[in-house]
Amino acid sequence: MAPSRKTEPETSKKGRTSSKLFVPACYSFGFLLVCLIAFLLQIVYFSPISPVLDEVPQPAVLSATQLQDFIKVGEGSVNHPEDASMDKNGVIYTATRDGWIKRLQDGTWVNWKFIDSQTLLGLTSTKEGHLIICDNANGLYKVSEDGVENFLSYVNGSKLRFANAVVEASDGSLYFTVSSSKYLPREYYLDILEGKPHGQLLKYDPSSNITTLVADGFYFANGVALSRDEDYVVVCESWKFRCRKYWLKGERKGKLETFAENLPRAPDNINLAPDGTFWIAVIKFDARRMKILNSSKLIKHILAAYPKLFSRFITLGGGAHLINVAEDGTIIRNLVDPTGQLMPFVTSGLQVDDHLYMVSVTSNFIGKVQLS
């Protein structure tokens, strides 16, 4: 034991010195090749991902309706919100990047409660009249007139991370998504590159204070919504351009099926509309570049090592784009801003009467359009 311990530091010292000498040697062509191979081997060896080459989504090309009569609600008074929700009294709430929970009063966003967090994502209003908010770093918060409570931050002894969207069922239980059980929110690109399904659908039962795993195997579990009759819950899988439904009632109870696939872009949040259909905000990922990713594990390893390169390679955007999907999963409306000038992209669409509110982590207002 002892001698081997002694020799170990010596070898590593040697290695360091020789690599210093190695760098000038690289100027010769043969060594350049060796250096390149050594560099690539190092990238693969220390890679944070174990990638697979997997089916790339085939986005559908649909005829589009242009978003018109666009209003910016409360410009400058919301700092990059991700989602919005309306309570039973018709008040609309949102959660911002600077931790403020705001509500809409006479066309402006007014501070209501504060959470010391910069990572608030999806939210939902409950029957009791409070809000449940996902924080991708700290789990779930309950916000009411009485204050703020981080009521779920551990699940079965593990820190709850990357909670993304939440919806309440009529029995008071909460269905929520964990986008990736493997990677941290700031490592979301590793989740794409690895190409394996680490997303989960969880259920929190407030009467027992127990959180159960409802379904897993989602390629980035993002938005979640219940059908009007609560016979199924839909989970949107961003990296696969599709949403799946998990049956809660009837003969198919407990089964996971495709809800809508080949969506025109990657789905983010999904919200139930007053007529029982759904609004899904979709975000552009370059599908051709996804194909390039699918062609080589080495490319994946290189991009995993250089996140800046990744964000140049796969850019998010494409302008505001929302789809309205029927209860059976067919797309009935495809609303697009072809100029991309209104908002870089939309992360959530909330229908109130015949208006659609468009929320985006890239904007400092909430967009509003008339639907009919």
Ligand X SMILES: *[C@@H]1O[C@H](CO)[C@@H](O)[C@H](O)[C@H]1NC(C)=O
Binding site for ligand X (CB under 6 A): 53, 55-56, 154-156, 202, 209, 211-213, 291, 294
CA distances from 159 to 56, 137, 150, 173, 209 (A): 31, 9, 12, 20, 15
Rounded to a whole number of angstroms, the minimum distance from the CB of residue 159 to ligand X is: 11
Rounded to a whole number of angstroms, the minimum distance from the CB of residue 195 to ligand X is: 9
- What is the C-alpha separation between 211 and 116, in angstroms, rounded? 24
Helix (H, G, I), strand (E, B) or coil at 266: strand
Cβ nearer to ligand X, comparing 121 with 155? 155
79 CB-near residues (< 8 Å, 6+ apart): 96, 97, 98, 100, 364
Pick from 222, 219, 268: nearest CA to 239: 219
Cβ nearer to ligand X, comparing 56 with 104? 56
Rounded to a whole number of angstroms, the minimum distance from the CB of residue 171 to ligand X is: 18
Cβ nearer to ligand X, comparing 202 with 335? 202
Cβ nearer to ligand X, comparing 165 with 346? 165
Rounded to a whole number of angstroms, the minimum distance from the CB of residue 212 to ligand X is: 4
Cβ nearer to ligand X, comparing 56 with 320? 56
Token pair in block for residue 87:
């309570």
Helix (H, G, I), strand (E, B) or coil at 10: helix
Tokens 């009632």: give the residue: 249
- What is the C-alpha separation between 122 and 223, in angstroms, rounded? 8
Cβ nearer to ligand X, comparing 131 with 290? 290
Rounded to a whole number of angstroms, the minimum distance from the CB of residue 57 to ligand X is: 8
- What is the C-alpha separation between 284 and 80, in angstroms, rounded? 18
Rounded to a whole number of angstroms, the minimum distance from the CB of residue 153 to ligand X is: 7
Cβ nearer to ligand X, comparing 55 with 106? 55
Cα-Cα-Cα-Cα torsion 168, 242, 340, 93, nearest 10 degrees, comes to 0
Cβ nearer to ligand X, comparing 25 with 53? 53
Tokens 């949040």: give the residue: 269
| CB distance 138 to 152 below 8 Å | no
- What is the C-alpha separation between 235 and 245, in angstroms, rounded? 6
Rounded to a whole number of angstroms, the minimum distance from the CB of residue 203 to ligand X is: 9
Pick from 310, 313, 301, 307: nearest CA to 42: 301
Rounded to a whole number of angstroms, the minimum distance from the CB of residue 211 to ligand X is: 5
